[in-house]
């Protein structure tokens, strides 16, 4: 009997074609919104394998919806929204994908930086509304980027990719991270290692590139925003809860910082209402890996994981490999 796979949103058609070769596939057709929990539970209850995306919350209730659930195959690098401990207790393998989103995420981060600094979104709205202030009008004068100081909070893969982009704009690059890069890597990137307080105080743009854990939850809150220049911008493409959104809204309202570019949010898909009203904030709906070629590659990695499980093999990417200890 062929396994049944529930896919929470449409993925690349080429990956679905492969998946249908060895499984019956049910796809939620709506890609415009996150699947509501009751619908997710219904989908899990009538299928053998769940193919979830990064935004799907796979908690105890979802895992309990089907006592015979064979796997959770996630299109995420870190399983922030999956109860891996509960899945392991139920002997349900949870698979992920390797770190393949580095350049795409750095691209969107630098795009947000440029958009908020040069007021690109405001300009777009103005033109569409039929206004055109003139090519030398100060009506939408913004902040220059070339030659400014960027502070990278996190010097890992994406932080380093961001440094390479900043170097192309002749920016002075500071970075803060618990683990310092080798000196040769610092020299290659033109990056200076420092502590977070100095970075916040000297940077014109602060870009966040840290993982989500107890230490980074609300890493940026009232005290940290107070350390930043009033002319500085905060960019976040890491994880939403790294920023205390209420504190960010207050800092912006009080003019403590100049603006923000956000691709991730503390309580996705909900966003702090005050941020939605601010023209000096550019918001995108978690587009970090939203590149056609990359998303197709990611989908095929998930299918590889599912195929291995269906064939009784250990999947190439598994978070809780211990569930296979007695079964394989």
Considering the candidates 119, 165, 286, 295, report the single residue annotated as catalytic: 286
Strands 205-208 and 149-153: parallel
Q: Are 20 and 27 in contact (CB under 8 A)?
A: no
235: helix, strand or coil: strand
pLDDT digits (tens, 9 = 90+) for 139-170: 999 999 999 999 999 999 999 999 999 999 99
Name the pLDDT band for 102 (thresholds 50, 70, 90): very high
Options 268, 296, 300, 314, the catalytic residue = 268
Residues of the chain with CATH 3.40.50.720: 4-98+291-324, 102-283
What tokens does 328 get? 């394989």
CATH topology of domain 102-283: Rossmann fold (3.40.50)
- For residue 72, give the 3-state DSSP assignment: strand
Average pLDDT on 232-238 reads 98
* C-alpha span between 69 and 87 (Å, rounded): 10
d(CA 269, CA 53): 14
Task: State phi, psi for 60 to the nearest 5 degrees.
Answer: -55, -40
- Where helices occur in the chain by DSSP H, the ranges are 13-20, 37-45, 60-64, 84-89, 102-117, 120-128, 157-168, 183-189, 196-202, 222-227, 245-253, 273-276, 292-310
Marked catalytic residue, from 119, 209, 239, 256: 239
Domain covering 4-98+291-324 assigned CATH 3.40.50.720 in the classification = yes
Q: Is the pLDDT of residue 201 over 80?
A: yes
- Averaged over 70-94, what is the pLDDT? 96
Per-residue pLDDT tens over the stretch 105-121: 999 999 999 999 999 99
Model pLDDT, residue 325: 79
Nearby residues of 125 by Cβ (< 8 Å), 6 or more positions away: none
- Is 286 a known active-site residue? yes
Residue pair 306/312 in contact (Cβ under 8 Å)? The answer is: no
Instruction: Confirm whether 268 is a catalytic residue.
Output: yes
pTM for this structure? 0.91
Q: Report residue 327's pLDDT band, with 50, 70 and 90 as the boundaries.
A: low
* CA 82 – CA 68 distance, rounded (Å): 18
Per-residue confidence (pLDDT) for residue 1, from 0 to 100:
86
Residue 216 has pLDDT above 60, yes or no: yes
Residues 58, 84: Cα–Cα separation, whole Å: 9
DSSP calls for 63-79? HHT-TT--EEEEE-SS-
Tell me what percent of the chain is helix, strand and coil, each rounded to the nearest 5.
40, 15, 45
């Amino acid at each position: 009997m062929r396994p049944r796979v529930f896919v929470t949103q449409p993925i690349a058609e080429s990956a679905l074609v492969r998946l249908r070769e060895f499984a019956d596939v049910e796809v939620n057709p709506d890609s415009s919104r996150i699947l509501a929990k009751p619908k997710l539970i219904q989908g899990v209850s009538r299928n053998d394998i769940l193919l979830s995306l990064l935004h799907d919350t796979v908690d105890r209730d979802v895992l309990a919806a089907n006592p015979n659930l064979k796997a959770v195959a996630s299109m995420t690098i870190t399983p922030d929204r999956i109860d891996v401990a509960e899945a392991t207790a139920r002997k349900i393998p949870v698979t992920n994908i390797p770190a393949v989103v580095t350049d795409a995420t750095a691209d969107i981060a630098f795009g947000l930086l440029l958009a908020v600094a040069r007021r690109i979104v405001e300009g777009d709205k103005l033109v569409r509304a039929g206004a055109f202030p003139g090519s030398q009008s100060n009506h939408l004068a913004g902040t220059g980027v070339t030659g400014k100081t960027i502070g990278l909070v996190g010097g890992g893969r994406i932080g380093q990719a961001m440094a390479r982009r900043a170097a192309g704009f002749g920016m002075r690059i500071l970075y803060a991270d618990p683990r310092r890069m080798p000196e040769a890597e610092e020299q290659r990137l033109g990056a200076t290692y420092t502590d977070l307080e100095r970075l916040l105080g000297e940077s014109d743009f602060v870009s966040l590139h840290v993982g989500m854990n107890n230490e980074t939850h609300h890493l940026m809150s009232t005290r940290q925003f107070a350390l930043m220049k009033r002319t500085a911008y905060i960019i976040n493409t890491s994880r939403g809860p790294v920023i205390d959104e209420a504190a960010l809204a207050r800092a912006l309202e009080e003019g403590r910082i100049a603006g923000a570019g956000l691709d991730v949010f503390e309580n996705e898909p909900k966003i702090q209402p005050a941020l939605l009203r601010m023209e000096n904030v550019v918001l995108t709906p978690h587009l970090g890996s939203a590149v056609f070629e990359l998303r197709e590659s990611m989908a095929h990695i998930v299918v590889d994981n599912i195929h291995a499980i269906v064939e009784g093999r250990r999947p190439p990417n598994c978070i809780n490999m211990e569930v296979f200890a007695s079964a394989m």
